[in-house]
Amino acid sequence: MSKERYIAAKQKWAEKQKAQGVTPRLTAATDRLPPGQKLTTGFPVLDLGVQPAVPLTEWTLTLDGLVTQPVTLDWAAFGALPQVTDVSDFHCVTTWSKYDCRWSGVAFTTLFELVQPPPEARYVYFTGYDGYSTNVPLEHCLDDDVLIATHFDGAPVSREHGGPARVIIPKLYAWKGAKFVKTVTFLAEDRLGFWEVRGYHNIGDPWKEERYA
């Protein structure tokens, strides 16, 4: 299943980049705002109250767990991977949404290809430099709009918004996209993250209002 998702996502990434489909939508779809959400033009900051300062010279991203080729990337190596830009909507579980967020970074499919998880890998567990963690089924990570972002609207992702790099999974509530990302671990069995242990929903689909367990 993950192989098919990976191939389909790679094809969609290529189509979007070729068409340069990274500009804001001219007209919002009538069903674009998930139920229970309110639109904002700002960008509220919600975190654990910890915003670690991670110098780029010390930043690393470790990809490990159930993979064929585990790797730890420094900032230069991560930046040398193919870069993509995508525009998506951002939905916070606290009921606000922000349209047309322009993120740039490395597609999750690129990382998947780099470490080559076997078919038994079904979940991804993210951790951040702030001690945060969250779990996501691998199939959701292989959507064509999922990336580890280093830039927002053409500028480096700020520290308050999870820089130097954060996870973006637009089709799920934003708590699933770990800020200050440090490790990406592929697992055969699910492992609950910080908010999931505390009663948040295990998937977090905004369209199903999967806020809490």
Instruction: Output the pTM of the full model.
Output: 0.86
Write down the pLDDT at residue 8. 65
Q: What is the per-residue pLDDT across 44-96, written as a single tens digit (0 to 9) for each?
A: 776 667 789 999 999 999 999 999 999 999 999 999 999 999 999 999 999 99
Low-confidence ranges of the chain (pLDDT < 50): 20-29
Who contacts 164 (Cβ-Cβ below 8 Å, separation ≥6)? 54, 56, 59, 75, 150, 156, 157
Among candidate residues 185, 170, 169, the one with its CA nearest the CA of residue 126 = 185
Whether the CB-CB separation of 133 and 100 falls below 8 Å is answered with: no
Q: In CATH, which superfamily holds the domain spanning 2-17+59-208?
A: Oxidoreductase, molybdopterin-binding domain (3.90.420.10)
CA atoms of 146 and 144, how far apart (whole Å): 6
Write down the pLDDT at residue 213. 86
Write down the pLDDT at residue 31. 73
Gyration radius from the chain CA atoms:
16
Write down the pLDDT at residue 41. 85
Query: What would the 3-class secondary structure string for the chain be?
Result: CHHHHHHHHHHHHHHHHHCCCCCCCCCCCCCCCCCCCEECCCCCCCCCCCCCCCCCCCCEEEEEECCCCCEEEEHHHHHHCCCEEEEEEEECCCCEEEEEEEEEEEEHHHHHHHHCCCCCCCEEEEEECCCCEEEEEHHHHCCCCCEEEEEECCEECCHHHCCCCEEECCCCCHHHCCCCEEEEEEECCCCCCHHHHCCECCCCCHHHCCCEC
Write down the pLDDT at residue 95. 93
Write down the pLDDT at residue 22. 41
Buried b (16+ CB within 10 A) or exposed e, 26-58: eeeeeeebbeebeeeeeeeeeeeeebeebeeee
Domain boundaries, the chain: 2-17+59-208
CA atoms of 84 and 95, how far apart (whole Å): 28
Write down the pLDDT at residue 43. 84
Give me 177's structure tokens: 């996209």
